[in-house]
Structure 1
């Protein structure tokens, strides 16, 4: 059987899962905070937005 409905059930790549776990473990601070953990999280969000924008 060929399954053609991957809209809501697509299996994630292992690399994406590993990156997601890394980010959730290390970048949990509020991005609006002025301490270094918050700034690190904000920088990661900005970097991610740039990557997505370039892909589009």
Structure 2
């Protein structure tokens, strides 16, 4: 049971990275760094999550 809780926590912690990857965000590396270093705080997680879901300009999108 504890292993399942740990896996769910890891999954939730990495949601901003998964969103950025799925959207082919041009700043995915920066989002990953912010999430890994500061995602354990509510503010850091919120910033990386909002950055991942923020609309991307068409000219910046990775093909």
Q: TM-score, normalised by structure 2?
A: 0.31
Q: Which has the larger radius of gyration?
A: 1
* Greater share of residues in helix: 2
Q: Which is bigger in relative contact order (C-alpha 8 A, separation at least 6)?
A: 2
